[in-house]
Amino acid sequence: MFAKSCAVRFAIDSATMSGQSLKPQFDGSSMIAAASTSKLVEIGVTEEHLGSVACPSGSLVVVDFGLMGGWSRKVATSVTKLLARGGGTSSALDDGNLIALPGLPREPLEVVGVRIGNGRWANLWRHVELKLGSTPVAKVEELGEVYVERARLMFADPSVLDAWQHEDTLDGLADIAFWGRDKELVAKASGATRLDDGEWGFADLPLDAAKAKYAELEELVARNDWFVRAEPREHDHHYLLLKAAKASPLAVGELELRGARLLGLLLPHGDGAFPVQRCRDAHGALVGVRVVLGTDDALATLDAVND
């Protein structure tokens, strides 16, 4: 668990996302920090295909996949009990929570997004929804709020998450990435190259070599009094899903795990507590699970940190 053993000893910035300042300039695609939720804004109607989710167990969790290092037997037991009661919110996850829901179809299900469509944040998702039926939504039921701490979100089958590897390399390899004020100086001095996501660093290093490179960068930065942040990225399931999402123009990635298909999203909305809803049609049938992202408070916070 190389990443966990690396206390950040470099000078660091205050960003919560790699390479992002606390007050970035939003260009419609960059990720930013900070959001909160309360009053829901009006629901849009134009749906865009984002991907699909397969839950062979018929159950679903909605969770920030950046927090999956906190998944444990205790969390799994909590989720099992919650599902037996019809679903809801579990706070058993370290540093966050999750929403669990039973009674889903076991075949692959489409995930769609609806954009805000107007104003400064027109290109952001108003909501994302796991589609369980084709009939129109007539009413919604609040399941709770999912806490997002790493500006990312995942729809997943909880029955396979014991197999999730977080900060334990799957192939014996790791990347080292760094960013910050003096990144260009560090890159030139260390021979770093651009990684797939645009950060400076070193890709596909054997784990021992990655540890040595991290120590080398630490010494280089300290000797020159440079200001950067470095991050070890072991090739675990979090890395794979994050890499897939970063490579997508919609910032959405999929991951196969023990016969299930997980879907992860990167949220330009940043961090906060986002409402999760059961969607029902006029006859009471369950037709969707929706996460509301574009609330009035979330957009107000975006305005505040980007002015």
Running along the chain, 307 residues long, what does each successive block of 10 average in pLDDT?
Answer: 53 35 28 31 71 98 97 96 96 93 97 95 96 95 95 97 96 98 98 96 98 97 96 97 96 98 94 95 96 90 89
| Cα dihedral: 11, 15, 21, 24 (round 10) | 180
Report the C-alpha gap between 215 and 195 in whole angstroms.
19
Give pLDDT, residue 301.
Answer: 85
In 3-state terms, the chain is what percent helix, strand and coil (to 5)? 25, 30, 45
Give pLDDT, residue 271.
Answer: 87
Place of tokens 């990167």: 266
Q: Where are the domains of the chain?
A: 47-164+238-306, 169-235
Give pLDDT, residue 37.
Answer: 32
Give pLDDT, residue 307.
Answer: 84
Q: Taking the domain 169-235, which CATH number applies?
A: 3.30.70
Give pLDDT, residue 1.
Answer: 67
pTM comes to 0.85
Report the C-alpha gap between 176 and 202 in whole angstroms.
5
Give pLDDT, residue 2.
Answer: 66
